[in-house]
Amino acid sequence: MNTKSKNVPGFTKRYGVDRLVWFEIYGDPVTAISREKELKRWRRDWKIRLIEEQNPEWRDLTKRL
């Protein structure tokens, strides 16, 4: 983990989240929220497979935003 923490109070700090390893861009909030709800229902191994198909090294994608 990076010693210069990017964590903010809440979820990221509590669980030590310090990298963005996956993101999707949508043109409208309704579609984005629908996709977020869909992914929340997925099993953990499905989510890991989704990430590893595009980012097998789990690199921090923050700079790509």
Q: Is the pLDDT of residue 3 over 70?
A: no
Predicted TM-score (pTM) of the model is 0.75
| Residue-wise DSSP of 1-65 | --SS----TTHHHHTT----------SSHHHHHHHHHHHHHS-HHHHHHHHHHH-TT----GGG-
In the chain, domain spans: 23-64
- For 7-64, write each residue's pLDDT tens digit: 678 888 899 888 999 999 999 999 999 999 999 999 999 999 999 999 999 999 998 8
